[in-house]
Each structure stands twice: as structure tokens, then as C-alpha cells.
Amino acid sequence: MAGCVSRVELSVSCRSLLDRDLGSSSDPLCVLLQDVGGGRWAELDRTERIKNCQNPEFCKKLVVDYYFEKVQKLKFGVYDIDNKSFDLNDDDYLGGIECTLGQVVSSSVFTRPLELKQGKPAGKGTITISAEEIKDTRVVYFEIEARNLDKKDFLGKSDPFLEFYKQSDAGTWQLVYRSEVVIKNNLNPCWRKFSIPLQTFCGGDFNKPIKVQCADHDSDGSHDLIGAFETNLTQLQKAGDGSSVEFECIHPEKKRKKKSYKNSGIIRIKSCKIETAYSFLDYVMGGCQINFTVGVDFTGSNGDPRSPDSLHYISPDGINEYLIAIWSVGSVVQDYDTDKLFPAFGFGAQVPPSWQVSHEFALNFNPTNPYCQGIQGIVDAYRQILPQIRLYGPTNFSPIINHVARFAAHSAQQGTASQYFILLIITDGEITDLDQTRQAIVNASKLPMSIIIVGVGAADFKAMEFLDGDNGVLKSPTGEPAARDIVQFVPFQQFKNAPREALSQMVLAEVPKQLVSYYKWQGWPPVKPPEIKKM
């Protein structure tokens, strides 16, 4: 495994995008893909969507690991987003570019014309990317409110939001944060607590000039400036522990025209705190064990394992889609587990000797010790059990999710970042207990665990995509939202002809984020925190 030299964050802006919307401007979003070989591209990150804007300056930075010794081919794609689905195939393509990460990091500012396809320009559209190495893992947390803001809307009050800019070495202002909450019709807003990585905010320079703008949000994208002020982190840091820092919000035009002008409102920094943000590697290297459990779908819809049409049919070369999924995910995860003992279960089959249907039986037929030695142990147990059970139904996920959740809950009671649980469910997709599964996932979202679902075969996986909270927050049948997004669903079909590592990369892409989000939510540092290197 090549050593990651460093992480870089990419700032993206576009100019003169094509206009695909009737009656308004496009609603652009930029997605970053990386070449994973075999002509396939895997998504690394995406920006926010900006409504009605042909010259967007995206606030969310795209973060990518930089390997000096690898040619990392990247693709930036800009899309006009007109729906809530995560899938970009149903959105208008506004153009893109292909380049290498080396090209971007070796240019201070990298600007290229957007193309709809090779050699076909996307109108006059351009994309500009600048890279900055992430050296500092600290994060600045803000609590901010305002009072007596100017009224900007003819009929209602203003809909204020905040933007923070840092001054670059060249003296230009670069957007580092845009508040996501637009507070409707309120001249005395109190924004939700938010955080900005210190590196993004000021590059670690506490005296770097920072400009804060307050503007009135308009749905057509023509936001009106209420006022602005300049400061730096040293000044902002004085807020906290009961004392706040206040700034006058000044509109330059009004100040120039009116002698009696005082301000356009007061921005009050209630709290500004700097904390260390730990990474996935900080937790793993600090002693966090990752526990891997496998659940295999043995329901009748898979087909008779003796028939070559069955998803459980083992081909003459000894493999099927279930085995490939176990191998590709397990071979990555096993490196993070010291004892290499993995519990493995089946569900949806009639099991001897009573031939009762079980939704949670040990693959090695040993309920008191369902552990298999290494990934090979799971593969061996799977091969041995196939001829001994009868595929049946229904397809219930909740028993095996609740099984792993019990272990995760026990671990969480220790109050340390010492154990994290990954459940891999491999299924042909016909889920029966959707409501119970939704409830089980919402409960599990409060525990140190992630769920990966690999869909095999060509069934309709709409229910699986629903459980993967990418299109919005998953809710239990009673309406309780998941505390975190912990489910990643991947259809095996998309990876049938791709290199084996492409599946594991896609399947495991979310796990580091999910692990960090859980421990951050709990406020738990690594068991052995890293030593802070002096800059």
C-alpha cells in the first residue's frame, strides 16, 4: 500500500456555465471522480448545489489523498441538479474536465475550459481549481447571532445568511464558509452552531484578514448585501465563556451616501472555540479495533444452489457473487482486526435438524461460537453449509442487525473509542421486514457500527437504495430520524467486470467518515491520541 503523502483540499469555482433551466439559471453542483482502473471512475467527493447561478463559487471543499508516486487521474463534472436524488444520471451535464492531481497541485490556480465531451466545448464555461495541503487538523466552532439587520425584502423582512472569506497571499478574497441555514423573515437571527476546519478558515494564521458578509437570500440567486466587516481569528477567539464579541455590519454604499448612517445591524459572536478534529487513522492507530461480521442471504429467491442459474451456484472455478463480495470487502477489513476471528451468519433458510426457518444461524453451525478464522474461514464455512440447508424465506434483515447492535451497545457502554462494528449483508434484494429493518437501523445509528449491503443478482434494489440515506435522512416507522447515515448500499452488477478492488473501494468508502462521525458525536478522542506535532 503506497503511503499517502498528504491530504489536499480543492476549492472549485466556475464561470459562464451553460443554462439548462427554463425561466431561471442552472442549479450547479461539482462532483469529483477518480480513475480506479478498467475504464471505471469512483466518486470521491461532491460540492453543495448552488441555486440559480451560472458563476458558482462552491463553498464545500473537495478533499483528496495525494500520493506523490501515483498518477491520480481525476474527473471534475458539473451538473444542473433539479431533483433530490443522489444519482447524477438524471441531471443535465454542464461540462467537465479530466486532469491529474499532480497538474492541479503544481499550479497555484488551475483553470480549464469545460467540455461536454472530448473536443466539444461547453459554451464559454470554465472551471478553476486551487489546491491547499491540509496540515492542521484543528477545527473552529462558531455560535453567531445578529440583531437589527436592515430590511431588504419589499413585502417581508430579510432572509439573512453569512459568508466568511479569507484573504489570499495575492490579496483576493476566497470563500471559506457559507451558512447553510437561511433564516426566513428574521432581522434578529440566531444561526445554528457550525464548524470550519482551521486550515480552510485561515491556513493556521490567526492574524490573517477574514471578511464576514451578511446577505439577504433571494431564490433567484441575486442575493442582496446587508453589510460586512473585517476581523481575524485572534479577535474572534475572544468570544466564549459568557463573553461575546460584537461587530457592526457596514454596507459600504450606504456609508458613502449617508452622513447619518451608523450600521446595518450588529453581528454578535457568542462563541468561537478551537478543537482538534481526529481522523480515521488517528482512531485506528490509537487502538480502535474494527469488528467485521457477515450476514448471507439464503432465501429461496436466490435459486437452487445446484442450478447454474442460482446466485449461490459455485462455478467450476470455485466462485460466485457471494464469495467475491466476502473476499473483496473482508480482505480490506481484516487488516484492522487483530484476532482475525469473524462471526458469520446466514438468514432465510430452513436449518437442520428441526428444519425451522432461521433468520440468524451461524455459518459454522456453532451458535455459541460463530467465529470463523479469517476470511478464508468464512469462505470455507459457506461452502460447507450450502448443501446442508434448504433455501426458504422470508428475507428479514432486522434480526442480524439487532444481533450486531447488541455487541456495539455493550462496547459503547465503556465510553471509549476502542471497538467499531461493520456488518456486511449480502442479499438478492427482496426484503420482507422493511419497517423492522428501518427501526433497527435508526437504533443502530446511535451505536459504533456501520452496515454495508451488497446486492447480488439483477433484482429491483429500490428498498436497499431507500435504506442508504443518501437521498435524505432515513426515518423509523414512527418518524424518528437516524442519528447518522450508517448504511452503504452497492449493487454488485455495476462491478461485475471491474477489478476486484473497485468493489471494496466503493463499499468501504463511507466507513472512515461514519466511524469518525460517531466518535465526534460522542466527544470521544482516540484511546491513545496522537502527539500534536508543533508546526
Do both 129 and 153 map to the same domain? Answer: no
Do both 163 and 109 map to the same domain? Answer: no
Do both 106 and 236 map to the same domain? Answer: no
Give the per-residue pLDDT at 2: 38
164 within some domain: yes
Do both 23 and 48 map to the same domain? Answer: yes
CATH number at residue 82: 2.60.40.150
CATH number at residue 451: 3.40.50.410
Do both 208 and 313 map to the same domain? Answer: no
171 within some domain: yes
**Model pLDDT for residues 66-81, shown as the tens digit of each residue:** 876 677 899 999 999 9
Give the per-residue pLDDT at 68: 65
Residue where a domain stops, chosen among 134, 151, 183 = 134
529 within some domain: no
Cα dihedral sign, 358-362-365-368: negative
Query: What proportions of the chain, in percent to the nearest 5, are helix, strand and coil?
Result: 20, 35, 40
**In whole numbers, what is the pLDDT of the chain averaged over residues?**
89
Do both 91 and 196 map to the same domain? Answer: no
486 within some domain: yes
d(CA 351, CA 362): 10
Give the per-residue pLDDT at 533: 45
Residue 288 near residue 420 (C-beta atoms within 8 A): yes
Q: Residue 1's pLDDT band (boundaries 50, 70, 90)?
A: very low
User: CA-based angle 168:170:174, to the nearest 5?
Assistant: 30
C-alpha distance from residue 424 to each of 297, 321, 322, 325 (Å): 11, 14, 11, 9
213 within some domain: yes
Residue 179 near residue 193 (C-beta atoms within 8 A): no
Give the per-residue pLDDT at 4: 47
d(CA 172, CA 170): 6
**Model pLDDT for residues 140-196, shown as the tens digit of each residue:** 999 999 998 888 755 567 789 999 999 988 889 999 999 865 677 678 889 988 999
Residue where a domain stops, chosen among 225, 244, 276 = 276
Residue of 110, 107, 89 lying closest to 31 (CA atoms): 89
Domain of 13, in residue numbers: 6-134
Can you give the length of the chain in residues? Answer: 535
Residue 288 in grid coordinates: 480502535
Do both 87 and 187 map to the same domain? Answer: no
d(CA 95, CA 91): 12
Q: Determine the residue type at 487.
A: V
Residue 290 in grid coordinates: 474494527
Do both 67 and 163 map to the same domain? Answer: no
1 within some domain: no
Residue where a domain stops, chosen among 134, 158, 190 = 134
Q: Residue 285's pLDDT band (boundaries 50, 70, 90)?
A: confident
532 within some domain: no
State the total domains in the chain: 3
528 within some domain: no
Do both 403 and 511 map to the same domain? Answer: yes
**Model pLDDT for residues 218-234, shown as the tens digit of each residue:** 877 888 899 999 999 99
Do both 419 and 394 map to the same domain? Answer: yes
Residue 370 exposed, middle or buried by CB count within 10 Å (0-12, 13-18, 19+): buried
Determine if residue 59 is left, alpha or beta; phi over 0 gives left, psi from -120 to 50 gives alpha, anything else beta: alpha
Do both 338 and 463 map to the same domain? Answer: yes
Average pLDDT over residues 122-139: 90
Do both 21 and 79 map to the same domain? Answer: yes
